[in-house]
Amino acid sequence: MKLGRLNHIGIAVPDIDAAIAHYRDVLGATDITEPFDLPEQGVRVCFVNTPTQSGPNSELHGTQLELLAPLDENSPVHGFMQKNPAGGQHHLCFEVEDIAEARTYFESLGKRILGPTRIGAHGTPIFFLHPKDMLGQLTEIMETPKEDAHWSN
């Protein structure tokens, strides 16, 4: 398995509109998407995009923060919010080229996979790995969108 881009950092927040105002007014974020519900994942989501920095010698690609608020008490984020009422860093999402191959690979290592592979907020398949098997980080694995399928280092 080959690790792809860090696609996003998931941040759990108690109130998505208040969090948008925070990223815009306190941190000066200029690219924040409209929030939307993902009932299958039990969350309301929006993205804060950080810019790509280009210089003569390097290019550092911007990444995305994924702000997540639980839709109800059945949400997978509900337990986290109970323990962290102010919110906090919730998961890391890495891209892979082939989601089925990645799933088989992590299974073969004995890593616990949390539920079925589903379609995530970026429209491609995702699954989650248990934080206790991943150095304490809840880890989302996401298939790279086909139009972005060429990684360069």
Ligand X SMILES: C[C@@H](C(=O)O)C(=O)SCCNC(=O)CCNC(=O)[C@H](O)C(C)(C)COP(=O)(O)OP(=O)(O)OC[C@H]1O[C@@H](n2cnc3c(N)ncnc32)[C@H](O)[C@@H]1OP(=O)(O)O
Contact residues for Co ion, defined by CB under 5 A: 10, 66, 93, 140
Under rule CB under 6 A, residue 126 binds ligand X: yes
The gap from C-alpha 85 to its chain's centroid, in whole angstroms, comes to 20
36-50 as b/e: b if 16+ CB within 10 A? eeeeebbbbbbbbeb
Under rule CB under 6 A, residue 114 binds ligand X: yes
The question of whether 147 is a catalytic residue gets the answer: no
Pick one of Co ion, ligand X, none as the site partner of residue 41 (Cβ within 5 to 8 A by kind): ligand X
Smallest distance from ligand X to CB 116, Å = 11
Point out the residue whose Cβ comes nearest to Co ion: 10
Identify residues 54-113 at the interface with ligand X (CB under 6 A): 66, 68, 76-77, 79-80, 83, 90-91, 93
87: left (phi over 0), alpha (psi -120 to 50) or beta: left
Which are the contacts of 53, defined by CB distance < 8 A and separation ≥ 6?
Answer: 59, 60, 62
